[in-house]
């Protein structure tokens, strides 16, 4: 019996029912059911959390530092975060009032969106992008408006495209560079041009910089550091990628006091605080984790060089990404759609890549290969992809 009157579905909210189920869910399930797959589909570091960070978490437990912390997070961690942000990529923030510790960047993003959006407001974000952006916006009853980025621009965001998408209802511009899934980054000039548009149209900028420390080659300061931007930007970053701490679920947001205060209100009623143990580990990461962070970054950087060369050598056009641990080769030449390519590659060669369409419709014709996997596996995966393409021709 599951007619509409007796089904539990009758209690579900309309905007949740209409939330699209991820189109590649079936593909993920197929991958998970198969053995001996080499997966280039994993968007998390393959490194184990550095031992000193794990050890700091154990020590926190041993000392009994296992209680609630301030809603904003331990002041010692906020101080360390603000010092780190200022030294490495962002503006100076006041640890007492302009920084909040969250359960992953995902929570921080949810908090700031809920804090600033009214039903019907429009949020601009760029596609291809991380899978949670549009649903998180939709869950605030606001409207998610994608701006397409393309191969011709190395998937950097074109300020003119942003400008064209702006309507009187546009309130927020959500950025994610270095980008998941493309690995694209913004140049200093690109950031300045986008900042100019944001200021002219009085937009709040939410900058998800979770991959910032995994930048290769020239780096430029956060968009929050540009003139006129600090007061209209909320900078989000965390420990998952740079310090290989995904399971700790620990991140932070920095921004103007009133916005952080509003985020804190939601956070205190929903999450209360981030895990005290994870916070202790995060302090250790910032204070003593630089060598390990740099070692991992260098390894990703070299893997990127290898994988981009291999893909281009086998005829899959692939631009040189500026950061993160993803490459986004074009597979149009094979005559297959992204999903067909990923499905057949999985079945015929047991290599998992993620169809570009998982990250937005404009990802059609591309697949995401993550190089957060050991070099030996990457080499085998590249051989298998070459064989796969060879068999298609």
Partner 1 sequence: MENAEQRKAILRLLRKNARIPVAEIAARLELTPEEVEQTIAGMERDRLILGYLAIVNEDAADDREVRAIIEVEVQPRRESGFDDTAAALSRFPEVRSVYLVSGRYDLRLEVVGTSLQDVAHFVASRLASQEGVKATATHFLLKKYKEAGVLFHEEEEHERLKVVP
**Closer by beta carbon to partner 1, 267 or else 310:** 310
Helix (H, G, I), strand (E, B) or coil at 81: helix
Encoded tokens for 305: 């060089």
Residue 119, class by beta-carbon neighbours within 10 Å (0-12 exposed, 13-18 middle, 19+ buried)?
exposed
The length of the chain is 393
Q: Which is nearer to partner 1, 84 or 133 (CB)?
A: 133
Nearer to partner 1, 352 or 381 (CB): 352
Name residue 208's beta-bridge partners.
Answer: 236
Collapse the DSSP code of 28 into the 3-class scheme (helix H, G, I; strand E, B; otherwise coil) and give the result: helix
Choice between 27 and 89, CB closer to partner 1? 27
Residue 104's Cα: distance from chain center in Å? 10
Which residues have CB under 8 Å from 291's CB, separation 6+? none
Pick 204 or 370: Cβ nearer partner 1: 370
Answer for the pair 244, 47: CB distance below 8 angstroms, yes or no: yes
Token readout for 322 is 């500026």
The least distance separating partner 1 from the CB of residue 30, rounded to whole angstroms, comes to 10
Smallest gap from Cβ 183 to partner 1, in A, equals 15
CB nearer to partner 1: pick between 130 and 211: 130
Sequence-separated (6 or more) residues with CB below 8 Å from residue 135? 19, 20
**Nearer Cβ to partner 1, position 280 or 358?**
358
- C-alpha to C-alpha distance for 137 and 124, rounded to whole angstroms: 10
Shorter beta-carbon distance to partner 1: residue 129 or 273: 129
Q: Write down the least CB distance from residue 208 to partner 1, Å.
A: 14
CA dihedral of 107, 110, 114, 117, whole degrees rounded to 10:
150
Q: How far is the CB of 386 from partner 1 (least distance, A)?
A: 14
Rounded to whole angstroms, what are the CA distances from 285 to 74, 101, 244, 288? Answer: 14, 14, 10, 6
In the complex, the smallest distance separating the C-beta of residue 140 from partner 1, rounded to whole angstroms, is 20
Distance CA 22, CA 365 (A): 18
Look up residue 175 and give its DSSP letter.
Answer: E
Q: What is the DSSP string of 151-198?
A: GGGTTPPPHHHHHHH--TTEEEEEE-SSPTTT-----HHHHHHHHHHH
Shortest spacing between CB 10 and partner 1, in angstroms: 30
- Name the residues that contact partner 1, by CB under 8 A: 22, 27-28, 31-32, 37, 39, 41-44, 48, 130-131, 302-303, 305-306, 309-310, 352, 354, 358-359, 375, 379
Count Cα atoms within 13 angstroms, Cβ side, for 119.
Answer: 2
Shortest CB 298 distance to partner 1, Å: 8
Give CA–CA dist 224/201, Å, rounded: 16
In the complex, least distance from residue 24 CB atom to partner 1, rounded to whole angstroms: 8
User: Judged by CB, which is closer to partner 1: 165, or 306?
Assistant: 306
Q: Are strands 326-327 and 367-370 parallel, antiparallel or unpaired?
A: antiparallel
Scanning the structure block, which residue is given the tokens 């984790």? 289
We find the least distance from the C-beta atom of residue 54 to partner 1, in angstroms, to be: 11
CA angle 348, 354, 358 (to 5 degrees): 135
Residue with smaller CB distance to partner 1, 48 or 189 = 48
User: Minimum distance from CB of 28 to partner 1 (Å)?
Assistant: 5
Q: How far is the CB of 230 from partner 1 (least distance, A)?
A: 31
Q: Which of 13, 33 has the CB closer to partner 1?
A: 33
């Amino acid at each position: 019996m599951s007619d509409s009157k007796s089904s539990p579905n009758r209690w579900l909210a309309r905007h949740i029912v209409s939330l699209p189920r991820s189109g590649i869910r079936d593909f993920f399930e197929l991958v998970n059911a198969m053995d001996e797959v080499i997966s280039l589909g994993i968007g998390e570091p393959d490194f184990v959390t550095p031992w000193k960070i794990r050890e700091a978490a154990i020590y926190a437990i041993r000392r009994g530092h296992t209680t609630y912390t301030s809603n904003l997070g331990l002041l010692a961690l906020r101080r360390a975060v603000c010092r780190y942000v200022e030294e490495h990529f962002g503006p100076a923030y006041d640890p007492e009032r302009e920084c909040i510790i969250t359960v992953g960047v995902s929570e921080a993003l949810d908090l700031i969106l809920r804090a600033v959006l009214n039903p019907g407001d429009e949020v601009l974000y760029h596609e291809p992008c991380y899978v949670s952006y549009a649903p998180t916006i939709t869950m605030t009853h606001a409207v998610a408006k994608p701006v397409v980025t393309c191969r011709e621009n190395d998937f950097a965001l074109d300020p003119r495209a942003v400008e064209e998408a702006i309507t009187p209802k546009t309130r927020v511009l959500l950025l994610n560079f270095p980008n998941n899934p493309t690995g694209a980054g913004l140049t200093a000039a690109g950031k300045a041009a986008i900042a100019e548009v944001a200021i002219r149209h009085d937009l709040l900028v939410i900058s998800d910089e979770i991959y910032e420390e995994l930048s290769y080659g020239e780096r430029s300061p956060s968009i929050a550091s540009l003139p006129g931007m600090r007061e209209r930007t909320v900078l989000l970053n965390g420990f998952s990628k740079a310090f290989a701490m995904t399971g700790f679920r620990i991140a932070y947001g920095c921004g103007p006091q009133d916005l952080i205060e509003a985020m804190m209100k939601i956070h205190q009623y929903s999450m209360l605080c981030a895990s005290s143990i994870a916070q202790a580990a995060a302090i250790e990461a910032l204070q003593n984790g630089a060598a390990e962070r740099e070692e991992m970054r260098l390894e990703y950087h070299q893997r990127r060089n290898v994988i981009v060369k291999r893909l281009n050598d086998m005829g899959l056009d692939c631009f040189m990404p500026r950061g993160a641990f993803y490459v986004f080769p074009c597979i149009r030449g094979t005559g297959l759609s992204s999903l067909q390519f990923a499905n057949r590659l999985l079945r015929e060669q047991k290599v998992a890549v993620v169809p570009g369409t998982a990250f937005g419709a404009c990802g059609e014709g591309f697949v995401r290969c993550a190089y957060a996997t050991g070099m030996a596996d990457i080499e085998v995966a590249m051989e298998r992809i070459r064989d796969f393409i060879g068999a298609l021709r």
